[in-house]
Amino acid sequence: MLNEQTTQAKGQAIDVPTGDSTRTHAPQAGQPGEPVNRNKEANHELSIRVRDLNLWYGEHQALKNINIDIYQKNVTALIGPSGCGKSTFLRCLNRMNDLIKSVRIQGLVEMDGRDVNETKMDEVALRRRVGMVFQKPNPFPKSIYENIAYAPRMHDLVGRKAEQDELVERALRDAGLWNEVKDKLHQPGTSLSGGQQQRLCIARAIAVQPDVILMDEPTSALDPISTATIEDLMDKLKQQFTIVTVTHNMQQAARVADYTAFFHLGELIEYNDTRVMFSNPHIRKTEDYITGRYG
């Protein structure tokens, strides 16, 4: 179990080591869930605000009092050992946990001033604004073209065929896949290689113009070269989208993320600017994990 220090550290993990001084020196950083050292050139507009989020699978509590702010047009990486709740947390952001029976959620996940868990919130509307890319590439068993065009058509974002063609091309270009597939748009999406399939899934997610893209270990099933391609892509996509990614690979978090959150046993241990996190973590547990002492 966690010791007292980490229990106390949850949520406001960032200001624990320096105590009140941090709070006085950087009052805005003292709010729970905000990282201490902000990346100076980064965008600081709030995208998703999470307060006191608790989640249970039946009797088992998988998330404990999570407080975190996710900033627009940044890449936020969630790291931590297996079963620490990072994927569960990610799925709270677009209510994919609704699909699992016996899940109980408490707390606030706020986007655009609205609680996403409130009964008035339609989860379909939420998922339209918060897209998702999964661990295993899962293109629809349809053509490459249909994979992209399906969702925009369903949401009435496109009308005429020409509009649709244009949108498919734009999404594929943004996902860096256009040159590889432009001559075989009507072949099945499943005929592509794993890395291409994953980029197709990214193209599918960005085709509906969401605000946020959630990525659940998007490269864990891919080879190093495909992984590098996807990482470059994330770097490019953050100009347009807010990206939250779960990763097992700490080097990947260090490479792509602006902010990194470290989860352990359902708690958010530390949330910080990635550079600070990897060079000078404020919490001992984080340092132990990052340096490979466990996990």
- Interatomic CA distance for residues 212 and 253, integer angstroms: 18
Applying the rule CB under 8 A, the residues between 89 and 108 that interact with another protein are: 94, 96, 99, 101
Residue 166 CB, shortest distance to another protein, in Å, is 19
Decide: is 140 part of the binding site for another protein (CB under 8 A): yes
- Interatomic CA distance for residues 102 and 56, integer angstroms: 8
Decide: is 60 part of the binding site for another protein (CB under 8 A): no
CA atoms within 13 Å, Cβ hemisphere of 258:
24
DSSP-assigned letter for residue 139: -
Backbone angles phi, psi at 75, to 5 degrees: -100, 125
DSSP-assigned letter for residue 13: G
* SS3 (DSSP) at 179: helix
Applying the rule CB under 8 A, the residues between 206 and 265 that interact with another protein are: 208
Decide: is 136 part of the binding site for another protein (CB under 8 A): yes
Stretch of residues binding another protein (CB under 8 A), selected from 129-137, 224-232, 235-243, 264-272? 129-137
Residue 213 CB, shortest distance to another protein, in Å, is 10
- Interatomic CA distance for residues 87 and 18, integer angstroms: 30
The residue among 205 and 268 lying less far from another protein, judged by its C-beta, is: 205
Decide: is 124 part of the binding site for another protein (CB under 8 A): yes
User: Residue 8 to residues 161, 202, 283: CA-CA distances in angstroms?
Assistant: 57, 38, 11
The residue among 97 and 247 lying less far from another protein, judged by its C-beta, is: 97
The residue among 86 and 91 lying less far from another protein, judged by its C-beta, is: 91
Residue tagged 């008035």 (tokens): 120
- Interatomic CA distance for residues 110 and 70, integer angstroms: 10
Decide: is 86 part of the binding site for another protein (CB under 8 A): no
Cα maximum dimension of the chain? 61
The residue among 217 and 267 lying less far from another protein, judged by its C-beta, is: 217
Applying the rule CB under 8 A, the residues between 145 and 204 that interact with another protein are: 150-151, 154-155, 188, 190, 201, 204
Contacts to another protein by CB under 8 A? 94, 96, 99, 101, 124-125, 127-128, 131-134, 136, 138-141, 150-151, 154-155, 188, 190, 201, 204-205, 208
